[in-house]
Amino acid sequence: MSVKKRQEWTDKKQEEFRVGDYSNENFWWIRGKRVYSKSLLEESFDQASKVTQLKFGKTNLISVRYGEDLSKVTNDVTPVILHFLPRTILLFSTSLLICIPLSIFIGVKTAMHEGKKSGKLLSIFNMIGSSIPIWWAAYVGLIIFAFYLRWIDFSPLPFPRTEGLHFYLEVFKKMLFPILVIVLVKLNHLAWTTRSLVTDELQKDYVIGGRAKGLPEKIVAGKHALKNSAPPIISKSMDMVIGIIPELIVFESIIGWPGIGHLFYKALDIGGTSSLKMDSNLLVALVFFLSVFIIGLSWMADILYGFADPRIRVNE
């Protein structure tokens, strides 16, 4: 078959496939198969088996350097993910280590002053914050503070290409804005939950008895009431962490943070309005790792339940 005739035949088969007029053989041809020995179901099981063995193949879109002198380049999926993963862990673990303790502190403080303006303000901020995703807050924040007021020196470039103390200072400056967005958006919801739980505990008999004995309000609220409210607070904290994960993709892409979310966005490489080029190997690996991470968080919550409340035990 000549090159011209082969191109005409190829165009015809693609058009038939597009309009839905195709046979089983044409379907296998479109999938790029020369051997028709395996069905789609069999190939799905083969792919699942490779995933369980952590064999994700190679990515066609991204390659990373590794080695002591960074002279080697690889496009294997697992090294690529491990290259971007520490950056996401750094950003979100720092944000959550600030957000969760601060939320609990504010929640306990407002519970101790129930009925005052602070409790009402916290309820209003909770309603606002619960309806705002972090990627939208980051987008609006960049428009206001980076492009209009120019208070933030925003750059979509990856980590600074420097070394030593200057490198860490530049990374810290790059982290300030996203950490501020995450803390301000997620702070109020957990604080409002803590306030509600501690306020309910403060109405119980053992708290009233402790006050009658002369215990300071800080000890009554901060030690006894908060301790008994710990299991649902842990659950809400884990829900908050898990809820951030789907927002990673858009958030990291907007702020220019080269982490897992940015990598996920790259795997969904949009080539235009009429074509969508996806890196399937990279997407499968990312979904697998994120699923394992979510399951690990759920197990961690169960373990923390036991430490927070000795009455809670998992049956063997």
User: Any idea where the domains of the chain sit in the sequence?
Assistant: 1-36, 77-308
- Tell me whether residue 254 is exposed, middle or buried, using C-beta atoms within 10 angstroms of its C-beta: 0 to 12, 13 to 18, 19 or more: buried
- In sequence order, which residues have a C-beta less than 8 Å from that of residue 106 and are 6 or more positions away? 122, 187, 191, 194, 195
CATH 1.10.3720.10: does it fit domain 77-308? yes
Burial class (CB in 10 A: 0-12, 13-18, 19+), 171: middle
Per-residue pLDDT in tens (0 to 9) along the chain, 316 residues:
566 776 677 677 666 655 554 444 444 444 444 444 456 677 677 777 877 777 888 887 777 776 666 667 888 888 888 888 888 888 889 998 999 998 888 888 888 777 667 667 766 776 777 778 888 888 888 888 888 887 777 665 556 566 677 777 878 888 888 899 988 888 877 888 888 888 888 888 887 787 777 778 778 777 778 878 888 888 888 888 888 888 877 888 888 888 888 888 878 765 444 445 677 788 888 888 888 888 888 888 777 777 766 665 555 4
Give the predicted TM-score (pTM) of the model: 0.73
157 to each of 105, 134, 167, 190, 289, how far by Cα in Å?
A: 36, 20, 14, 33, 25
